[in-house]
Chain A
Amino acid sequence: DGGITQSPKYLFRKEGQNVTLSCEQNLNHDAMYWYRQDPGQGLRLIYYSQIVNDFQKGDIAEGYSVSREKKESFPLTVTSAQKNPTAFYLCASTPGGGLETQYFGPGTRLLVL
């Protein structure tokens, strides 16, 4: 079964700690995206990558970092610089990064202890 997996489903962060959210896809898609979802605010783009070893900032990149060392993997690190990290994080991918449909993973909920 092709799809996008995100892990863990729930993640807890302590103050001053960096945490990494995993996103893996076996769809052979070139482009991958990270979104943040807050109640009543829809989805906001954090980072996106259209090819391996290249990525661009989205609308709310501050306090986050990413890497794209492999086509199938696009991990997101929430750094200690992100002062309000509590949110639902969604990973998505498209075949070529153009106007195609985006396919989403099941999401990771990040909570601050």
Chain B
Amino acid sequence: GNSVTQMEGPVTLSEEAFLTINCTYTATGYPSLFWYVQYPGEGLQLLLKATKADDKGSNKGFEATYRKETTSFHLEKGSVQVSDSAVYFCALNNFGNEKLTFGTGTRLTIIP
């Protein structure tokens, strides 16, 4: 079956630091990969996605590249802001199992 493994949190960084949150997956075929963000007390919002190998998803300064050879989809941002503090979820789905499979989430806190 499908599974997603995310970097354990919490992660605390200073403002303007470089961010990486690791995500690796197990799935058959060619899954679609997603990063969702959850701000305190709210639902999830799609941050970015990639649907095929070597695709790069990007949004709000965040990027992630679909690496089939390493089954990874790591989230990166060059300079984080306090407003990026949230929980980040990596997720996937694929044909034959269209339900989203989520990682456990990584809590990110940015300090000024």
Contact = CB atoms under 8 A, between A and B. Distances in A.
A and B: partners? yes
Interface of A: 4, 6, 33, 40-43, 45, 48, 58, 90, 92, 97-99, 101-107
Contacts of A58: 99
A102 B102 CA distance: 12
Interface stretch (B61-69, B72-80, B88-96): B88-96
Contacts of B44: 43, 90, 92, 104
A33 B89 CA distance: 17
Top-6 shortest CB links A-B = A104-B43, A42-B102, A42-B104, A104-B44, A43-B102, A106-B43
A105 B43 contact: yes
Given A90-B44, A99-B95, 4 more contacts: A41-B104, A101-B34, A102-B46, A104-B44
B interface secondary structure, majority: strand
Interface of B: 32, 34, 36, 41-46, 49, 51, 89, 93-95, 98-100, 102-105
Contacts of A4: 43
A103 B44 CA distance: 8
A104 B42 CA distance: 9
A6 B46 CA distance: 18
A45 B32 contact: no
Contact of A99 (B36, B89, B94): B94
B89 A43 contact: yes
